[in-house]
Amino acid sequence: MASLYLHVPFCPTLCPYCDFHVVRRGPGWVEAYLKRLKEEAQRLYEIHPEPLKTLYLGGGTPSFLRDRELIALFQALPWRLKADAEVTLEANPGTLNRERMALLKDLGVNRLSLGVQSFQEAVLRFLGRAHGRRGALKAVEMALEGGFRVSLDLILGLPMQEVEKDLKEAASLGVGHVSAYTLQVEKGTPFALSGLKEDPEREAWAMGKAEEILEGAGLVRYEISNFARPGEEARHNLAYWRNGFWLALGPSAAGQYPGTGPVYAFRRTNPPLPRWLLGEPPQEEAISPLEHAKESLMLGLRLREGVDVGTLERRTGLPLWDRLRSAAQQLAQEGYLVIEGLRLRPTRRAFPLLHRVVLKLWEALEG
């Protein structure tokens, strides 16, 4: 249990595409959040006191907290960090300045995930972002000058967007990591209520351009939506994609914990902020060995490194390769998988159709 996700739900604005658990500041809410967080952290630490290899502060907008609130948040965490720990904080460009950067360094943050989304003014207005192009570029410049590892978030394939322009701009800035997503119109969001539709053809083209331009600049597509220079991969997120175990704190945060007996793992998801503040316990889902194997295939095939079926067999005690062999060989013949011993790796051709590849393997597992 060497990874911890901490959810900070507060945001200065509610973006029209976002369906994460976020809220605006209310009177006394941050103080109540920090008090409850400290209590939850202490209880979790007593069960899982191991030093952390990765700590990820997501949201919401963690950088929206005031200086004294950020200090209190870090003071609420009793865990020791390993010497080479990766400590990531999600930040919006408009919430950063040089003084804030210095404070984050003092608190131990060494990696910033910047929610840039685009460098084009019209696109940023469409997305409801509070920053503009100049603010985005300034935030990247300050983060790099401050010695942080930097990741940029981009949303691609939007109607008025010059996709190649955004990608070339991101590639030119010298950052080590770019997360490139297409717009998901989620049910209940303002975008969905307005009737906005996704455009799969344009989105597939945009992701192809992302691979072409970012890899051309030395950022390798190590995961279906993530590009990194060697050694700059998101270590915390690799714990998710490799379907390991991690701790979780805060409202709506979900963690995965070791199971016992016939249960491989327990997934515990905290309630939203109001119920979490009242002490409502997390919802618990038991993950069977077969469910773990299926999820591991779904997540692991997002990675260029793929999935080691032998490792999964040792984890679950199931004869997975016997079930998967025929389907995997067929997918390899069709050009979607590479089989190396017991490791299955997706090809570039597989990424746009990954859900179909995974479904075929799931059918083989269940058959």
Question: pLDDT by residue (tens digit) across 256-273?
Answer: 999 988 899 999 999 999
Per-residue pLDDT tens over the stretch 178-215? 999 987 666 666 665 565 666 677 888 899 999 999 99
Per-residue pLDDT tens over the stretch 106-142? 999 999 999 999 999 988 888 777 778 898 999 999 9
Half-sphere exposure of 101 (CA within 13 A, CB side): 22
Sign of the Cα torsion 307, 239, 21, 202 reads: negative
pLDDT of residue 58: 95
Q: DSSP 3-state assignment of 159?
A: coil
Mean pLDDT (whole number) for 150-161: 91
For residues 160 and 146, give the distance between their C-alpha atoms in angstroms, rounded to a whole number: 33
- CATH topology classification for 301-367: Arc Repressor Mutant, subunit A (1.10.10)
CB of 189 closer than 8 Å to CB of 18: yes
pLDDT of residue 69: 96
CB of 292 closer than 8 Å to CB of 264: yes
Cis check: omega of the bond before 147, within 30 degrees of 0: no
Per-residue pLDDT tens over the stretch 83-98? 999 999 999 998 889 9
Helix ranges restricted to H, the chain? 29-47, 67-75, 98-107, 121-126, 133-145, 163-172, 190-193, 200-216, 235-241, 273-277, 289-300, 309-316, 320-333, 354-366
Distances, alpha carbon 96 to alpha carbons 100, 109, 131, 261, 278, in Å: 6, 14, 11, 48, 32
Rama region for 250: left / alpha / beta (φ>0; ψ in -120 to 50; rest): left
Q: Which residues contact 250 (CB under 8 A, 6 or more apart)?
A: 6, 7, 8, 9, 33, 37, 40, 270, 276
Q: Where are the domains of the chain?
A: 3-239, 301-367
Here the tokens at position 165 are 């322009």
CB of 108 closer than 8 Å to CB of 148: no
- CATH topology classification for 3-239: TIM Barrel (3.20.20)
User: Model confidence at 4, in pLDDT bands (50, 70, 90)?
Assistant: very high
What b/e sequence results for 75-109 when a residue is b if at least 16 CB atoms lie within 10 Å of its CB, and e otherwise?
ebbebebeeebbbbbbbbbbbbeeebbeebeebeb
Does 21 have pLDDT greater than 90? no
pLDDT of residue 142: 95
For residues 221 and 215, give the distance between their C-alpha atoms in angstroms, rounded to a whole number: 7
Q: Which residues contact 353 (CB under 8 A, 6 or more apart)?
A: 336
For residues 141 and 334, give the distance between their C-alpha atoms in angstroms, rounded to a whole number: 45
pLDDT of residue 18: 59
For residues 289 and 292, give the distance between their C-alpha atoms in angstroms, rounded to a whole number: 5
pLDDT of residue 312: 96
For residues 364 and 367, give the distance between their C-alpha atoms in angstroms, rounded to a whole number: 5
Per-residue pLDDT tens over the stretch 296-349? 999 999 999 999 999 999 999 999 999 999 999 999 999 999 999 999 999 999
